[in-house]
Structure 1
Amino acid sequence: MNVPGVGLICHVLLLETDDGLALVDTGYGARDCLDPARLGPVRHFLRPALLPTETAQYQIEQLGYRASDVRHIVLTHCDFDHIGGIADFPDADIHVTAAEARGAIHAPSIRERVRYRRTQWAHGPKLVEHGPGGESWRGFVAAKPLDAIGDGVVLVPMPGHTRGHAAVAVDAGHRWVLHCGDAFDHLGTLDRRHRVPFFVQAQQDLLSFNRKQMYDNQARIVELHQRRDPDLLIVCAHDRTLYGLARDTA
């Protein structure tokens, strides 16, 4: 996404499980590429590339799989740059917190009606909603192991950016990967030696559903980062530098 002063990506995770493939978020989808108007007027500011070769569906097929091999999709939240591809995987179960489903689909506030793009789930996806409660995961309460997907996939609620935003922790064998979605947006949140660009900071504050919750969760993420645990890799959805570090140390 070619926003003024900074280039952002839409980082998703592809997981191989005993029950087929699973995705954490989807980024923009094939239908978004064909019909950018689905994204609304904000697309003129974010200026997403919308290249079919960058969609999750295309890249999965390049690995030799079929779209139907994706059995589960876990959403960090329902902003259009995270769920545009769910229509490319119509047979997948879509896992989301119940709070996010309420804010995006069932009973959105006026502010949420403006935020979300209902056309992206007009195909009738199969929602699996996860309510409050759960167990502690590295200091975050109410985390839910997603046993339907497989061992070592945990939904970690981190509300603030949206009503029901969540991170997703994945046990990759040699370490855990914590995909924080939009709980933070830039490496500078974790490491003060890097400056968070003005636009990134401004849009983070502007879009937050509950700013206090967002910053409380960021403080916990920073604490995890400062421990330098070798068995934990923290990434977010949009930072290009963090994505590179994740790729280089995979």
Structure 2
Amino acid sequence: MRVHHLNCGSLRRIPLLRDRPTLGEDPAAEVVNHDLPAVCHCLLIETDSDGLVLVDTGLGTADVENPDANLGADWVAFAQPALDPRECALSQVVRLGHAAQDVRHIVLTHLHRDHTGGLPDFPHARVHVHADEYQAVTDPASAHHRHSLERFMPAHRAHRPLLTPTTVEEPTEWFGFADVARPQGLAYELLMVPLPGHSAGHVGVAVRDGDGRWLLHAGDAYMYHGELDYPEPVSHPDLDPVQRGAQTDVAARVATRDRLRALHRRHADEVTVFSAHDPWEFARLAERATS
């Protein structure tokens, strides 16, 4: 088993906040201490039992070829994606010596465009989402249906991805987080941890790295490491508009962030928490994975 950290879509450049704490006290500055493009942080997991498993897919090959149509012109103008085909998950899977068909499962934190762009590149893969996220995009009666479909782009679902809602067969907790689910048909130990607030059925994805330590991909539950690392939560002014524009429940999102802060403080020796878009977290984890 091996876990690869992939950046599947560089976005607009954002500054590292230098006012608090100082760089010397900032854990994310251990590797890189300058401004960086935001990332679409995905995981590629080589398993013995289930082939390759992708956690989120970032931007896909068709997005790079036709960004305005696939991603939306307004989003492209704001996010300023690099549109580098080498960053697409498919390209990175092939460079690692695998074929697209080797990706048998995709586990999504949620169904927003910067997490689903690679789905058409793996049309055969089973795509696991939280049951509430599934309902939001399939049930017109859902309170979040319109909001969810606006962000799950038509081009990313035109091939009819094999969306599979997770179910909690028996009450399961993970470090105090309740209603944790295992994706159906996946033997590998991977947990979908509800982290509500950003989308209708937003989850974190917990896996073990090669050393047996837990990694928690927290999706968009938070977007800047200062929200967890700093003595008081510090969000990023360049990323705040993204969070405000997407969130479905402010109170739930803040409560989720606070629970992640507590997890980070109490169990840092057991769990590494990271978000989907913070480039300093990505740089640190990518460096650790290759060292």
TM-score (norm 2): 0.81
When the two chains are superposed, the root-mean-square deviation of aligned CA atoms in Å is 1.9
Alpha-carbon displacement from aligned partner over 1:52-84 (angstroms, at most 9, x marks no partner): 100000001001100000000000000000000
**1:74-223 aligned within 5 A:** 74-107=107-140, 108-131=144-167, 134-146=171-183, 148-174=185-211, 175-192=213-230, 195-223=234-262
Helix, strand or coil for the counterpart of 1:112?
A: helix
Q: Per-residue deviation at 1:202?
A: 3.1
Match of 1:8 in 2: 38
Q: Which amino acid in 2 is paired with 1:33?
A: V
The reply to whether residue 232 of structure 1 matches residue 265 of structure 2 is no
Helix, strand or coil for the counterpart of 2:160?
A: coil
Contact 2:166–2:183 (Cα < 8 Å) also in 1:
no
Helix, strand or coil for the counterpart of 1:218?
A: helix
The gaps in structure 1 that reach 5 residues or longer are none
Give 1 or 2: higher strand fraction: 1
Match of 1:33 in 2: 64
Contact 2:167–2:181 (Cα < 8 Å) also in 1:
no
Instruction: Report % sequence identity.
Output: 36
Match of 1:73 in 2: 106
Contact 1:22–1:149 (Cα < 8 Å) also in 2:
no
Contact 1:139–1:220 (Cα < 8 Å) also in 2:
no
Alpha-carbon displacement from aligned partner over 1:198-230 (angstroms, at most 9, x marks no partner): 121232123211111111111111001112532
In the alignment, the residues of structure 2 paired with residue 186 and residue 83 of structure 1 have an alpha-carbon distance, to the nearest angstrom, of 21
In the alignment, the residues of structure 2 paired with residue 176 and residue 111 of structure 1 have an alpha-carbon distance, to the nearest angstrom, of 32
Q: Which range moves more in the overlay, 109-118 or 34-43?
A: 109-118
In the alignment, the residues of structure 2 paired with residue 209 and residue 243 of structure 1 have an alpha-carbon distance, to the nearest angstrom, of 26
Q: Which amino acid in 1 is paired with 2:38?
A: L
Contact 2:168–2:179 (Cα < 8 Å) also in 1:
yes
Contact 1:25–1:74 (Cα < 8 Å) also in 2:
yes
Q: Per-residue deviation at 1:46?
A: 0.6
* Displacement over 6 Å in runs of 4+: none
Contact 2:116–2:152 (Cα < 8 Å) also in 1:
no
TM-score (norm 1): 0.93
Q: Between Structure 1 and Structure 2, whose CA radius of gyration is higher?
A: 2
In the alignment, the residues of structure 2 paired with residue 105 and residue 238 of structure 1 have an alpha-carbon distance, to the nearest angstrom, of 27
